[in-house]
């Protein structure tokens, strides 16, 4: 307001609400853009036992709903420098073994989590809309709310909409092309398709035995649970923990078995409750196999029952022995 006219030191400005219920003195009015205020006039001095002057002005602003819920920004998963992760894991795993299995397990977890934190790299999401297109959006808002104060605003608004549609289509096409090129280079086409998907389509339905579609989530979850339990049920029945049995623990684990199990972990798997990433365990397999094998054998020899929930045990399927590793829950 000070940019429109000046007032004396003994004069004051008064703001009057539309319902004539509020009268406030105005000393300073801040605005990010001078064009938001127009038609500023000082009315004639009125007799109200005061030296105030009545100011008349028009405010043009973009109304925004502050209470509307906003979708949180999607944070991309971090990437890891594999060479740095291998190096950090190799250095962290050089420490001497701990006397107890619990301490040894905690040391292994700390070494892998420290290596993952050291090799972690934040990923910046690529912008889909260029700076030029954002400028066109801002210009269109000004024309729509009457902030441009230019002649032939309606014609300019129509032309600007046409230009904006073309620019937005070109930006989205360039973003899709860049995403697909990265997917081809990394051999992750399925992941790129999921990133570019703008809607979800239900492609299958679960049916009951009578042929009717299931309508509740609980019923579908029960059917899926039953299916996978039947699929992965062992031929020899459920495992029974018998440390004194001569069948279950006849053979100790070898470092080669542990190394093969670590090498088969999925790199993109999520971290377990111990916060160890399967990628860290997989990359650190050459240095992790031996201490992890010794830990397994010490647990089996000491009859440590408290680690049954943390470490999966050797499972016998006929004559073949399958080792399950806790990191990533991979058999």
Q: Across residues 191-214, what is the average pLDDT?
A: 78
What is the pLDDT, as a whole number, of residue 186? 85
Look at residues 128, 213, 229 and name the one whose alpha carbon lies nearest to residue 179: 128
What is the pLDDT, as a whole number, of residue 133? 94
What is the pLDDT, as a whole number, of residue 254? 87
The pLDDT tens digits for 246-284 are: 444 446 788 898 898 888 888 877 787 788 888 888 999
The pLDDT tens digits for 18-75 are: 666 666 666 666 777 777 777 777 766 555 555 666 667 777 765 554 555 666 667 7
* Separation in Å, CA 16 to CA 25, 57, 60, 145: 9, 12, 18, 24
Our CA dihedral for 164, 166, 169, 172, rounded to 10 degrees, sits at -60
What is the pLDDT, as a whole number, of residue 144? 81
Burial letters 226-245, b for 16+ CB under 10 A, else e: eeeeeeeeeeeeeeeeeeee
Bridge-partner residues for 213, per DSSP? Answer: 207
Whole-model pTM over 0.75: no
How many angstroms separate the CA atoms of 33 and 131, rounded?
21
User: Domain limits of the chain?
Assistant: 12-59, 81-117+231-331, 131-196
How many angstroms separate the CA atoms of 207 and 213, rounded?
4
DSSP letter string, 209-252: TTSPBP--HHHHHHHHHHHHHHHS--TT-S----TT-TTTTSS-
How many angstroms separate the CA atoms of 315 and 24, rounded?
81
Residue 295 near residue 255 (C-beta atoms within 8 A): no
Q: Is the pLDDT of residue 191 over 70?
A: yes
Which is higher by pLDDT, 147 or 314? 147
Q: Is the pLDDT of residue 129 over 70?
A: yes
Q: Is the pLDDT of residue 311 over 60?
A: no
Which is higher by pLDDT, 203 or 47? 203
β-strand 52-59 against 320-322: which pairing, if any?
A: unpaired
How many angstroms separate the CA atoms of 180 and 225, rounded?
35
DSSP single-letter state for residue 316: E
What is the pLDDT, as a whole number, of residue 300? 73
Look at residues 283, 293, 291 and name the one whose alpha carbon lies nearest to residue 256: 293
β-strand 315-317 against 320-322: which pairing, if any?
A: antiparallel
Residue with the two structure tokens 């902030």: 147
Q: How confident is residue 165, by pLDDT bands cut at 50, 70 and 90?
A: very high
Q: Is the pLDDT of residue 192 over 60?
A: yes
What is the pLDDT, as a whole number, of residue 227? 86
The pLDDT tens digits for 66-117 are: 555 666 667 777 888 889 989 998 888 888 778 888 888 889 889 999 999 9
Residue 104 near residue 97 (C-beta atoms within 8 A): yes
């Amino acid at each position: 307001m000070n940019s429109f006219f000046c007032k004396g030191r003994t004069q004051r400005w008064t703001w009057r609400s539309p319902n004539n219920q509020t009268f406030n003195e105005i000393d300073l009015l801040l605005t990010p853009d001078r064009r938001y205020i127009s038609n500023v006039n000082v009315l004639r001095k009125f007799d109200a036992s005061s030296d105030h002057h009545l100011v008349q002005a028009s405010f043009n602003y973009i109304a925004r709903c502050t209470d509307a819920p906003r979708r949180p920004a999607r944070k991309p998963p971090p990437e890891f420098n594999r060479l740095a992760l291998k190096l950090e894991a190799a250095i962290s795993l050089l420490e001497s073994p701990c006397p107890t299995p619990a301490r040894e397990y905690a040391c292994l977890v700390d070494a892998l989590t420290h290596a993952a934190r050291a090799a972690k790299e934040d990923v910046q999401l690529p912008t889909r809309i260029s700076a030029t297109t954002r400028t066109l959006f801002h210009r269109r808002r000004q024309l729509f709310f009457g902030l441009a104060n230019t002649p032939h605003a309606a014609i300019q608004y129509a032309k600007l909409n046409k230009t904006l549609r073309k620019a937005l289509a070109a930006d989205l096409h360039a973003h899709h092309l860049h995403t697909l090129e990265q997917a081809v280079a990394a051999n992750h086409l399925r992941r790129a398709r999921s990133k570019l998907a703008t809607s979800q389509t239900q492609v299958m339905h679960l049916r009951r035995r009578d042929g009717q579609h299931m309508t509740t989530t609980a019923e579908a979850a029960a059917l899926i649970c039953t299916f996978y339990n039947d699929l992965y049920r062992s031929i020899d029945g459920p495992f029974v923990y018998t440390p004194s049995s001569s069948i279950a623990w006849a053979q100790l684990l070898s470092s080669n078995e542990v190394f093969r199990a670590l090498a088969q972990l999925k790199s993109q798997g999520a971290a377990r409750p111990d916060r160890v990433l399967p990628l860290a365990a997989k990359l650190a397999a050459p240095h992790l196999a031996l201490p992890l094998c010794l830990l397994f054998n010490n647990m089996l020899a000491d009859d440590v029952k408290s680690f049954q929930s943390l470490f999966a045990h050797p499972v016998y399927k006929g004559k073949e022995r399958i080792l399950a590793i806790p990191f990533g829950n991979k058999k």
